[in-house]
Amino acid sequence: MVKIGVFDMSKGPAVVAVISHCPVEQAREAFLQGADVLEIRLDLLDIKDTISALEMIADLKKEVKLPCIATNRLPIDGGRWKGPEEKRIQLLLDILPVVDAVDVELIAAADLKEKLISDAHGLGKTVIVSHHDFNGTPPMKKIKDILEMAWQSGGDIAKIAVKANSSADTMNLLRATHEATRPVCMISMGDLGKHTRVIAPFYGSVLTYGSVGDAVAPGQLNIAELKRAMKVLL
C-alpha cells in the first residue's frame, strides 16, 4: 500500500489539511484538529519562487511534524497559479527533496509532467495524479478511464474530484471507488456530494481533504468536522 511520508494508508485513510494561507498557523491548527497530512497549496499561498517556498516549508516543519504534499494548481483545476507552465512545474521540482508527495494534474503538459513524476519517484516520493471537473460528473466508464490514465502516467494515487449534480452522480463515484484496482482519492464536490468526503474512505478512497478555516473547494468540511464524522462511522 502507498505511503505519504510515515503515514501508511494500509492502516486507514489519511485526513489531509489544505494549507492555503498563513501556513505555520494553519499547520499548527490542522495538527491540533487531528490532520494526518498537510497539502501545501503553493498557488493559494502565492509563492512563485524556490527560496520563498523552501523557507516557508522549513518554518512549517519546525512547528508541525506531519507529512506534506506539494501542489501548485492550474486555474482550470481550481488553482490560482499565474505564470508559465515551465515555471509552475519547476517550482515543484525544486522542492521535491523537502516534501513527501507531489500532486500534478492529469492535463499538465506531458513532457513536464513526465519529468516531475520521474524525479519524484527517483527521490522515493509519492505521486498523486489528479483530475478535477467543477461542472459535473462523467459516466462510470469515463471515470474509470480517467483513473487508468492517471495510473498509467505514473500516479501512485489517482485522484478525481468532480461536481455532483444528482444523487446518481455520487453513487457512480462511490461505485468507481469501490471497484478501483489501485489506490484512489475520490471526491464528489458540492452540497450533494458533501457526504462523500466522509464516506468515500470507507469505499476505498485513501485520502480525504478538509479545510482549516474557510473551504477551498465546494462542499469541503473543516478538519474537525471531518474527523468527528468519520469517528462516528468507525
pLDDT at 119: 98
CB 187, CB 196: distance < 8 Å: yes
* Domain-embedded: residue 217: yes
* Domain-embedded: residue 215: yes
pLDDT tens-digit profile of 19-28? 999 999 999 9
CB 225, CB 34: distance < 8 Å: no
Whether residue 202 has pLDDT greater than 70: yes
Whether residue 52 has pLDDT greater than 80: yes
Whether residue 213 has pLDDT greater than 80: no
What SS3 string covers the chain? CCEECCEEHHHCCEEEEEECCCHHHHHHHHHHHCCCEEEEECCCCCCCCHHHHHHHHHHHHHHCCCCEEEECCCHHHCCCCCCCHHHHHHHHHHHHHHCCEEEEECCCCHHHHHHHHHHHHHCCCEEEEEEEECCCCCCHHHHHHHHHHHHHCCCCEEEEEEECCCHHHHHHHHHHHHHCCCCEEEEEECHHHCCHHHHHHHHCECEEEEECCCCCCCCCCEHHHHHHHHHHHC
Assign 221 a pLDDT band (cuts: 50, 70, 90).
Answer: confident
* Domain-embedded: residue 80: yes
pLDDT at 128: 98
* Domain-embedded: residue 1: no
Note the Cα 76 to chain centre separation in Å. 15
The CATH number linked to 49 is: 3.20.20.70
Whether residue 1 has pLDDT greater than 80: no
**Domain total for the chain?**
1
Whether residue 166 has pLDDT greater than 90: yes
* Domain-embedded: residue 2: no
- Catalytic sites, residue numbers: 132, 159
* Domain-embedded: residue 110: yes
Mean pLDDT, to the nearest integer, of 163-192? 96
* Summary mean pLDDT of the chain: 95
Whether residue 234 has pLDDT greater than 70: no
pLDDT at 214: 75
* pTM for the predicted model, two decimal places: 0.95
- Residues of the domain holding 157: 7-233
* Domain-embedded: residue 54: yes
* Domain-embedded: residue 166: yes
